[in-house]
Amino acid sequence: MKVAIGTDHGGFALKETVISQVLADGHEVIDLGTNSAEAVDYPDFAKKVGECVVSGQAERGILLCGSGIGVNIAANKIRGIYASVCHDSYMAHQGVEHDNMNVLCLGSRVIGPEPAREIVSSFLRARFVGNDAGQERHFKRVSKVREIEKNSLEKE
Ligand code: RB5
């Protein structure tokens, strides 16, 4: 699959590790920057990655910042993006399987490269189970999340 990757300066140290893992797992990378440790603003990169995913250019996104939190909050402001910080591999696959998470957020100042590699692989291997027989409850719950999103935007 195509995976959009974006980071601010706080996540930049982890970017090459993440890219190399995505490639090692047989996926394509769309690199949306940043490309140095010079200070930038994380919402700009969350927007680029989020829009790349909702437009269908990429199937999933991975965002990095210092904590993972700034990009997580910003990405979730985009309709159709379901992003979360996951700092263990259980969260990374369960978030996709049950919650249809499409953007993984990592904090470069919180986790090291080897846990990050495992988390990225776990995220990319996982798929949403809500359309599978016997798993309809997850589809129903994700639909409720979408209803919240829709109604919230309508009131703006
Ligand atoms: C940058 O210093 C830092 O605030 C940013 O990378 C991120 O951690 C915000 O959530």
**Residue spans per domain, the chain:** 2-129
Q: Note the pTM of the prediction, 2 decimals.
A: 0.97
Q: What is residue 129's three-state secondary structure?
A: coil
Fold of 2-129: Ribose 5-phosphate Isomerase B; Chain: A, (3.40.1400)
DSSP string, 107-125: ETTTS-HHHHHHHHHHHHH
Q: CA-CA distance, 127 to 99, in Å (whole number)?
A: 10
Closest ligand 1 atom to residue 72 Cα is 10
From edge to edge, which strands make up the β-sheet containing 83-85? Answer: 28-31, 2-7, 60-65, 103-107, 83-85
Does residue 17 have a cis peptide bond before it, meaning omega lies within 30 degrees of 0? Answer: no
> What residues are in contact with ligand 1 under a 6 Å CB criterion?
8, 10, 42, 65-67, 69-70
Per-residue pLDDT reduced to its tens digit, 72-90: 999 999 999 999 999 999 9
Show which residues are catalytic.
65, 98
Which mutation among 12, 44, 71, 72 tests ligand 1's pocket best, with the greatest number of atoms within 8 A of CB?
A: 71
Where residue 156 falls among pLDDT bands split at 50, 70, 90?
A: low
